[in-house]
Structure 1
Amino acid sequence: MRFFNRIILQTPESVELEFTLAGIGNRAFALLIDYTCLGGFLIAFLVVWLFVSKQVLDLVVQITGSANGVDLWLTAITILGGFVIYVGYFVFFESLWRGQTPGKRYTKIRVIRDDGRPIGLAQATLRALLRPFDDTLFLGVFLIALGRQEKRLGDWAAGTVVIQEEQTIAAATFPISPAAEALAAQLPEIADLSHLLPDDFAVIRDYLQRRGAMSSKAQSEVNLQLARQVKEIILLEKVPSNTTPDLFLEAVYLAYQQQSTK
């Protein structure tokens, strides 16, 4: 019996990745943590804003002799501010932490796009704006429980899916060249491997495992595009001379694996 569903996504490099979906239990626990944190932010906002509002209202009454509808404007600002904090909490963290909020980070789940890529500001914003609809009458719970991809309304609109983070790293089933081993030892000094997510590592690993079955043309196209994207992710300014895309990807694979096991 499998307690979690699996999903296969295809990346723009035509590499298939298999992930474990987060499951309604993990998502509910993550949301409980997030709503607890969010409640703290909202309470702090209300305390500060109510104090400011009282000062503003008292000042207006002293000057004009009446509220002149200012109290209604202050109430409207209170409601708007609360909504901005509600939406902004999820947008801020999911954009900053590449698909994770404090709750998702604690429960080790993450939001990614349907092609396996990390979500951006647009996806995080769309998911957050539709969250109130998902929370109304537990609509999101029903959609997650009944759908094979466990998507709520916000996920369908944004083209995202919530997965469990990879906890283990598969051993290589392909040879690593001595030149790649030498480059792997240098990479931690000239690049920032911390920006490489387990999902990014999985793409590199799957390509290196499957490259032998690709045609020369397809292999050249995929490894060049993948190497360029990885170079940007790890903030590497310049690839060492005489380094082929395959050698570079092997080195990144090995360096990331060594760093993760420390």
Structure 2
Amino acid sequence: MRLFNSVKVRTPESVDLEFTLAGIGNRAIALLIDYLLWGALLVTVIVLWGLFAYNLPLYFRGLANSEALETWLAAVAWLVYSAAYASYFVGFETLWQGQTPGKRYTKIRVICENGQPVGLAQAALRSLLRPVDDFLSIGLLLILFTKREKRLGDWVAGTLVIQEEPAIVSANVALSADAQPLADQLGATANISALLPDDFAVIRSYLQRRTLMEPKAKAELGLQLARQARTLIGLHELPFDMTPDLFLEAMYLAYQQQSS
């Protein structure tokens, strides 16, 4: 019996991945942490703006209409409040690859339905619809009674909330002898931490299934994955000429070494 539901998604490279959904408990704890931090941010913004708004008329006394100045300050205060509200969730989920401080603590993450990291558009849609989800616990009901545990913001943005799972060493991956020395070099010179768990899962899936592929399809997919992985880790030059498969094997080992 599984305590959490799982979902299968197909990546743009036509690789099927299975993710474990976050579950209502982890999401509730993450949201509580985020709301506490977000509340502290809003209180700080309100206090600082209040001090600014109180002292500003003293500098412009006699130079501007006090009622007009108060109206202007109220309008700007609303904009500042809205920016503080949106920037917390949108900013963290965009910059932290689908995580906020609460999600990072509970080890869950937002991804797109195709397994890719969320971008600014998806994070913004989720944030804009959060008040609707919170109203009358609509989001809670949708998470509890839908198969993919998606609140309204997830449905509109096309996202899933999954558990962050560690890399799993698979005995079914056959690796060449040259992969380990290259993995050591990559670990020292490349930004392996930029590789996300679902990126690693795609590489692992390819290495496991490559012997079952047609030679032409294998060559094309291997080259595509190697180029994408090289871009992700910011590697501009390879240590020496190598096949895409050897590079992906080294990436596979380097990620495992970093995660262990």
**Shorter-normalised TM range:** over 0.9
Query: Are 1:232 and 2:231 an aligned pair?
Result: yes
Query: Across the two proteins, how many residue pairs are aligned to each other?
Result: 260
Cα separation, 1, equivalents of 2:38 and 2:173: 46
Pair 66,242 (structure 1): closer, same or farther in 2 beyond 3 Å: closer
Q: Which residue of 1 aligns with 2:96?
A: 97
Cα separation, 2, equivalents of 1:174 and 1:199: 17
Q: How does 1:163-178 map to 2 (within 5 A)?
A: 163-178=162-177
Cα separation, 2, equivalents of 1:75 and 1:143: 36
Cα separation, 1, equivalents of 2:171 and 2:225: 18
Task: Give the partner amino acid of 2:44.
Answer: A
Q: Which residue of 1 aligns with 2:51?
A: 51
Query: Are 1:253 and 2:252 an aligned pair?
Result: yes
Cα separation, 2, equivalents of 1:72 and 1:242: 66
Cα separation, 2, equivalents of 1:83 and 1:66: 26
Cα separation, 2, equivalents of 1:203 and 1:37: 34
Q: Which residue of 2 aligns with 1:207?
A: 206
Q: Deviations over 1:200-222 (max 9, x none)?
A: 11111111001111111111111
CA contact (8 A) 2:167 2:259 kept: no
Query: Are 1:21 and 2:16 an aligned pair?
Result: no
SS of corresponding position for 1:70: helix
- Which consecutive residues of structure 2, in runs of 5 or more, have no partner in the other structure? none
Q: Which residue of 1 aligns with 2:112?
A: 113
Q: Deviations over 1:24-81 (max 9, x none)?
A: 1111110100010001110111111001111123444x31585223222222222221
SS of corresponding position for 2:66: coil
TM-score after normalising by structure 2 = 0.95
RMSD, aligned CA: 1.5
Pair 110,65 (structure 1): closer, same or farther in 2 beyond 3 Å: closer
TM-score after normalising by structure 1 = 0.94
Q: Which residue of 2 aligns with 1:147?
A: 146
Q: Which residue of 1 aligns with 2:66?
A: 67
How far apart are 1:170 and its partner, in Å?
2.8
Cα separation, 2, equivalents of 1:201 and 1:42: 37
Q: Deviations over 1:90-115 (max 9, x none)?
A: 11111111000000000000001111
Give the % identical residues: 56
Task: Give the partner amino acid of 2:26.
Answer: N
Runs of at least 4 residues off by over 4 Å: none
Q: Which residue of 2 aligns with 1:243?
A: 242
SS of corresponding position for 2:117: coil
How far apart are 1:254 and its partner, in Å?
0.9
Cα separation, 2, equivalents of 1:66 and 1:84: 27
SS of corresponding position for 2:149: coil
